[in-house]
């Protein structure tokens, strides 16, 4: 951290977390519910605003005014194909305001419009509040992680959101780079090693190739691809069940936002279950027009629905290796970051690409960008960036 007053915030599409350096190590701070990660979700009701887990918990009852995934809108235009595709899966309303997307909600019986940056500031402010409660003091400075594909304008938007949240943003740093720093500092690498960070989160895949030697981290290349993460896998499951429901009952769930959100919640749970089990059950009473929905989805079915997306994660790896002028045999360590790296098929495809090389799963995927837990707070390190960034939108 740059000062004793600074915190680190990992602002994610689905979850966020906050950490502080003290007592010689980085501590990830739990929220009021005791969770180390907090939902990146904001909800509006007739009398109050809810942020984080409290917002997520009432989403089925209030889908049109519960906002999530808005990080995907930062720096985008309303007419962008990705925005139009996302809107089909969101229960809330996104409108065109002079070419820019804004989210429309009903708050305290009035129609309100919010920019993605304003909603982002609410999440950052919540992270700040969580840290202040834990530390018992005011926080004014922060370092915030962002996806590697974020351009200058998007990074500035995050800084602006930080300012709205009452934070002086000391630095914006790539998520995958922080994971590599954590790996290097924890393992105290002395000999030169080439490291590839595979960061697969809720909405994108980020690949960073670095050379680490002692306390010098040289970023050789960065490659990214958006709309290639956990949220997109859930979308595929939802689309599958919507088709099955219509085939079986001749009724379209797309006409009922609340029913669609209840189905999505169940699909999110199923996706998580399928990372450790071969099948998951969907049981929703009175999903639509009094019709119960009971279904079992297998891991094999889940993989078939998403196999093209899983395989597409290899493209930015090939790009990053090419830009770094390395072949895959030159990589000494492959570090997995992001919750979607828990998916067995993703791990298999990645391991097959690297000819069976062991994957480094030692870091907690959801917290790796914060978890640089090393024992010498005064130990200096240097990050050197190369000239190659490859970003696919």
Residue 383 neighbours by CB under 8 Å, 6+ apart: 177, 181, 217, 219
Question: Looking at the 3D structure of the chain, how many domains does it have?
Answer: 3
Classify residue 360: in a domain, yes or no: yes
Give the CATH number for residue 237.
Answer: 3.90.640.10
**Residue 279 and residue 335 share a domain:** no
The token pair that represents 101 in the structure block: 């997307």
Query: Active-site residue 10, yes or no?
Result: yes
**Residue 147 and residue 62 share a domain:** yes
**Residue 202 and residue 96 share a domain:** no
Whether the pLDDT of residue 391 is over 50: the answer is: no
**Residue 247 and residue 212 share a domain:** no
**Residue 212 and residue 76 share a domain:** no
Q: In 3-state terms, what secondary structure has residue 339?
A: helix
- Among 86, 129, 174, 175, which one carries the catalytic annotation? 175
Q: In 3-state terms, what secondary structure has residue 32?
A: coil
Classify residue 261: in a domain, yes or no: yes
- Among 86, 129, 199, 232, which one carries the catalytic annotation? 199
**Residue 327 and residue 341 share a domain:** yes
Query: Active-site residue 71, yes or no?
Result: yes
Q: Which of 308, 327, 355 represents a domain boundary (last residue)?
A: 308
Q: In 3-state terms, what secondary structure has residue 185?
A: helix
- Among 27, 56, 71, 231, which one carries the catalytic annotation? 71
- Could you identify the residue written with the tokens 């992270």? 127
**Residue 262 and residue 216 share a domain:** no
Reduced DSSP (H G I as helix, E B as strand, rest coil) percent helix, strand, coil of the chain, to 5: 35, 30, 30
Cα-Cα-Cα-Cα dihedral sign, residues 342, 345, 348, 354: negative
For residue 52, the 8-state DSSP code is T
Region 5-30 average pLDDT: 91
Q: Which helix (H) or strand (E) holds 293?
A: strand 291-298
Region 203-211 average pLDDT: 93
Q: In whole numbers, what is the pLDDT of the chain averaged over residues?
A: 90
Q: Tell me the pLDDT band of 388, cut-offs 50, 70 and 90.
A: very low
Region 375-386 average pLDDT: 50
pLDDT of amino acid 249: 96
Whether the pLDDT of residue 3 is over 50: the answer is: no
Which domain, by its residues, includes 381? 183-228+313-392
**Residue 31 and residue 114 share a domain:** yes
DSSP H helices, the chain, are 53-57, 81-87, 116-135, 152-164, 175-187, 230-249, 257-273, 299-312, 314-323, 344-353
Region 277-296 average pLDDT: 97
**% of the chain exceeding 90 in pLDDT:** 79
Lowest-pLDDT range of 111-115, 181-185, 197-201: 181-185
Lowest-pLDDT range of 163-172, 208-217, 234-243, 272-281: 208-217
Whole-angstrom distance, CA of residue 189 vs CA of residue 215: 8
Query: Active-site residue 175, yes or no?
Result: yes
The token pair that represents 184 in the structure block: 């290097």
Whether the pLDDT of residue 376 is over 50: the answer is: no
Query: Active-site residue 117, yes or no?
Result: no
Q: Is 380 exposed, middle or buried (0-12, 13-18, 19+ CB in 10 A)?
A: exposed
Q: Give the phi and the psi of residue 300 in degrees, each rounded to 5.
A: -60, -45
Q: 342-368: per-residue pLDDT in tens?
A: 999 999 999 999 999 999 988 765 554
Region 64-79 average pLDDT: 96
Q: 295-339: per-residue pLDDT in tens?
A: 999 999 999 999 999 999 999 999 999 999 999 999 999 999 999
**Residue 154 and residue 78 share a domain:** yes
**pTM of the shown model:** 0.87
pLDDT of amino acid 390: 42
- Among 10, 174, 231, 333, which one carries the catalytic annotation? 10
Classify residue 172: in a domain, yes or no: no
């Amino acid at each position: 951290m740059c000062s004793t007053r600074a915190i680190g915030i990992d602002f994610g599409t689905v979850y966020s977390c906050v950490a502080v350096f003290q007592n010689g190590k980085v501590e990830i701070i739990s929220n009021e519910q005791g969770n180390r990660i907090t939902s990146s979700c904001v909800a509006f009701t007739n009398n109050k605003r809810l942020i984080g887990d409290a917002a997520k918990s009432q989403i089925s009852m209030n889908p049109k005014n519960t906002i999530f995934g808005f990080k995907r809108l930062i720096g985008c235009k309303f007419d962008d194909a990705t925005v139009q595709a996302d809107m089909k899966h969101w229960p809330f309303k996104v409108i065109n305001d002079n070419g820019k997307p804004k989210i429309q909600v009903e708050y305290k019986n009035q129609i309100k419009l919010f920019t993605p940056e304003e909603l982002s500031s609410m999440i950052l402010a919540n992270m700040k509040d969580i840290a202040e409660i834990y530390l018992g003091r005011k926080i004014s400075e922060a370092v915030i992680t962002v996806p590697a594909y974020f351009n200058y304008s998007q990074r500035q938007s995050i800084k602006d959101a930080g300012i709205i949240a009452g934070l002086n943003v000391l630095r914006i740093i790539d998520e995958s780079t922080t994971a590599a720093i954590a790996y290097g500092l924890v393992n105290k690498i002395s000999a030169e090693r080439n490291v590839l960070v595979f960061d697969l989160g809720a909405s994108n895949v980020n690949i960073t190739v670095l050379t680490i030697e002692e306390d010098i981290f040289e970023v050789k290349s960065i490659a990214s691809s958006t709309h290639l993460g956990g949220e997109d896998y859930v979308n595929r499951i939802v689309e599958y069940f919507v088709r099955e429901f219509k085939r079986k009952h001749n009724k379209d769930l797309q006409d009922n936002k609340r029913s669609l959100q209840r189905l999505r919640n169940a699909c999110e749970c199923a996706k998580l279950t399928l990372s450790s089990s071969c099948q998951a059950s969907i049981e929703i009473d009175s999903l639509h027009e009094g019709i119960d929905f009971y279904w079992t989805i297998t891991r094999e079915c889940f993989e078939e629905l998403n196999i093209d997306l899983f395989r597409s994660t290899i493209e930015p790896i090939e790009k990053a290796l090419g830009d770094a002028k390395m072949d895959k045999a030159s990589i000494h360590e492959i570090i997995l970051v992001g919750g979607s790296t828990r998916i067995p098929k993703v791990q298999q495809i990645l391991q097959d690409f690297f000819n069976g090389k062991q994957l480094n799963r030692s870091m907690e995927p959801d917290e790796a960008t914060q978890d640089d837990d090393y024992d010498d707070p005064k130990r200096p390190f240097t990050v050197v960036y190369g000239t190659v960034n490859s970003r696919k939108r």
